[in-house]
Structure 1
């Protein structure tokens, strides 16, 4: 991980989706797919287009500070933006990062989109960046997210109590998961078995 990674962030893609670096120009298309249910277990809540502008601007700022790589998710068939995800807590010395801040248009939740995104990001982390650990956290109340994380083969490490105070004042517990480099081959195989040719980069 060097400065070039943040100055010229990658585009990741397979046959069905494309992850492109998030920019301020994505505020309106992201707000167009916004829905209150998306933010139920998120750290903040986006209600207005101004909220979305601030949310995107903060993500872009984190990239400029070399702290995160935020992406928007594009459906290649229609060139439609269907969600967003990011890598953050990127640590060059410890060769680790966290994958999160992921949400999708309600019509694409619980579809191949999430699996494809996770595969592309994990493949990039382990095969391009040569990381040894990728972690994921989710709200203890978000059982759907926990099930999705477990389906990809991440290992549950435990519960972080009072991990964060959300913008609405709620003090959440977070469930912590990880995938390490030694586990990536088996996790990768699981993706391939579920998604076939589409799991691979094109």
Structure 2
């Protein structure tokens, strides 16, 4: 049951590995590596992502770990296994135990590894864990209406567009964003798994 993984208060230790990518639980030990990842491409300048300014990484980790303690989020850091270099971060979040639904988000990577296999590998690992270990019924993803690159990446995974939540959140610059919602349900996973394996072989 999913409760046994995320409770009590998300304290279980989950590590996922594939294709030289290692996802480990986020901690303060990863602060400097995430600062360097932020600086790689000055990611904080992107108004349509959740990437913090490099000077705010400690606060970002604080918030993520508080949400983990509350059982609402399970944050990972993305590490290049053979070098130990931190490439970015991603999370399970908005975990609804009663309907076995969760989301994948709070995802950002150093610019130098964008448009590589890294995102596909991470999504494969997280989706596989969600459907095959947590027995999730639904895995959702969301993005800013103007983050067309993210929408394209999500659609490339095989997720279905559910719709748009209008006036959903404040962006970093204070403007109000509409959020595009996507999901994958349990019955679609085997086909999507084969699709992602093919994409990874093609990279």
TM-score by length of 2: 0.91
The answer to whether residue 187 in structure 2 is matched with residue 191 in structure 1 is no
Q: Secondary structure at the match of 1:74?
A: strand
My pick for the range that moved more, 78-87 or 31-40, is 31-40
Q: Which residue of 1 aligns with 2:127?
A: 122
Shift of 1:111: 0.5
Q: Which residue of 1 aligns with 2:48?
A: 41
Shift of 1:37: 3.2
Q: Secondary structure at the match of 1:6?
A: coil
The answer to whether residue 27 in structure 2 is matched with residue 20 in structure 1 is no
Shift of 1:5: 7.5
Aligned-partner Cα distance in 2 for 1:48–1:33: 8
Alignment length (residue pairs) = 196
In the alignment, is the contact (CA less than 8 A) between 2:93 and 2:104 conserved in 1? yes
In the alignment, is the contact (CA less than 8 A) between 1:33 and 1:105 conserved in 2? yes
How is 1:163-202 mapped onto 2 (pairs within 5 angstroms)? 163-196=168-201
Q: Which residue of 2 aligns with 1:155?
A: 160
- Root-mean-square deviation (Å): 1.8
In the alignment, is the contact (CA less than 8 A) between 1:154 and 1:179 conserved in 2? yes
In the alignment, is the contact (CA less than 8 A) between 2:47 and 2:172 conserved in 1? no
Q: Secondary structure at the match of 1:34?
A: helix
Aligned-partner Cα distance in 1 for 2:202–2:99: 32
Mark the CA change 1:109 to 1:56 in structure 2 (over 3 Å): closer, same or farther. same
Aligned-partner Cα distance in 2 for 1:167–1:143: 18
Shift of 1:192: 1.1
Match of 2:81 among 76, 82, 86: 76
Aligned-partner Cα distance in 2 for 1:5–1:120: 22
Q: Which residue of 1 aligns with 2:95?
A: 90
Aligned-partner Cα distance in 2 for 1:19–1:48: 21
Aligned-partner Cα distance in 1 for 2:54–2:21: 27
Could you list the structure 1 runs, at least 4 aligned residues long, displaced by more than 6 angstroms after superposition: none
In the alignment, is the contact (CA less than 8 A) between 1:9 and 1:69 conserved in 2? no
The answer to whether residue 113 in structure 2 is matched with residue 108 in structure 1 is yes
Q: Secondary structure at the match of 1:41?
A: coil
In the alignment, is the contact (CA less than 8 A) between 1:166 and 1:172 conserved in 2? yes
Match of 1:142 among 141, 144, 147: 147
